[in-house]
């Protein structure tokens, strides 16, 4: 059963015994996730704006994809690795 509102409010008063590395990761991770979203939007915008410009026979949109997809995967791997590194012993591994 889900905790009641009173239980949730009282849980806010209890100190959170988070390690330093976990605390730093919880502040860095949202920036990485937001950066990843902005990067995808930027790739789409560059592809639409510079559709007619060509470099070495390929449009700028294709070059944005060539550079953007590996960068997106790299950021995703860093997020996943950071989550696994800072995961506590008592936490659910699927969360």
Identify the domain containing residue 39 by its residue range.
34-87
User: What mean pLDDT do residues 21-30 have?
Assistant: 90
In a domain, 68, yes or no: yes
Q: What is the pTM for the complete model shown?
A: 0.69
29-81 tens-digit pLDDT: 999 999 999 999 999 999 888 888 888 888 998 899 999 999 999 999 999 99
Q: List, as one string, the DSSP characters of 39-86.
A: HHHHHHHHHHHTSS-EETTEEHHHHHHHHHHHHHHHHHHHHHHHHHHH
pLDDT tens digits, 75-88: 999 999 999 998 86
Q: Is residue 72 part of a domain?
A: yes
Asked if the structure places residue 1 within a domain, the reply is no
29 assigned to some structural domain: no
Look at residue 14 and tell me if it is in a domain: no
């Amino acid at each position: 059963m889900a905790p009641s509102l009173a239980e949730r409010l009282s849980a806010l008063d209890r100190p959170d015994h988070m390690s330093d590395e976990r605390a730093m990761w919880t502040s860095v991770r949202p920036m990485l996730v937001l950066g990843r979203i902005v990067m995808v939007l930027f790739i789409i915008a560059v592809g639409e704006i510079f559709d007619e410009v060509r470099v070495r026979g390929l449009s700028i949109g294709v070059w944005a994809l060539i550079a953007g997809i590996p960068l997106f995967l790299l950021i995703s791997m860093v997020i996943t690795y950071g989550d696994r590194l800072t995961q506590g012993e008592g936490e659910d591994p699927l969360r």
